[in-house]
Amino acid sequence: MANQQELLRQIAETGYNVGYGAKKHFATAEFVDKLPGWASLVSIAIGIFGLIFPALSDKVPSAVLILIGVATVYLGYYDKVAYLKAGEQLTASFQSLSSLYRDVKSMPANSDFSAQCAEYARIRSEANSYGISRQIFLSDTAAHYKFFWQQQIGWIEEQITFTFWRDKVPLTTTITLAFVILGAIVAGACVLMKPTFC
């Protein structure tokens, strides 16, 4: 049987995993729902502006449009409803963990926590059964934003110290940003200098 402090720490760690998982499922559902519309809008805009600016009719912008089209087809493999349902179930588990955390914290330190340990194990087991392992690219980035900047996680932060660069900014964001900057540099070079690989 865990003592009060150990149990609070375990509940907070599981709360982080479950809450973050819920936001990741919601992010995947949101991407599946919204990205095809945005991709179509961007493709149409580039096509229209290609009539005015000849550089937008070159190979690189055309290749980017083809990649956008392929990406939107790929999104069709995700079942938005399943991700929304899993996110809702994980959110309910997150709220149960938050409530349990407050209950344990309000009890005297020398109490018998057997019932709370059993409830914690039940919630954790239930939450583990809800998750969908296959998530969309960059759902980590959206989940980090939704969890750390929109969710009330003060009770988790009582037990876990999060750092900005290590925890609150995902590695996928940093890597993607580096690729976007590199891509913008290459695209700019193609437009301005017209090298042979463009």
Distance separating alpha carbons of residues 31 and 137, to the nearest angstrom: 9
pLDDT tens, residue by residue, 166-198: 777 777 777 888 888 998 888 887 777 776 655
Q: Kindly state the tokens that stand for 99.
A: 């409530």
85 has pLDDT over 80: yes
Q: Which residue has the tokens 């003060």?
A: 154
What is the mean predicted confidence (pLDDT) over 153-176?
82
pLDDT tens, residue by residue, 29-75: 999 998 888 888 888 888 788 888 877 777 777 788 888 888 788 88
Q: Which residues contact 79 (CB under 8 A, 6 or more apart)?
A: none
Cα-based torsion angle of the residue sequence 71, 77, 80, 84 in order, rounded to the nearest 10 degrees: -110
Q: Kindly state the tokens that stand for 181.
A: 């900057």
* pTM for this prediction: 0.77
DSSP reduced 3-state for 114 = helix
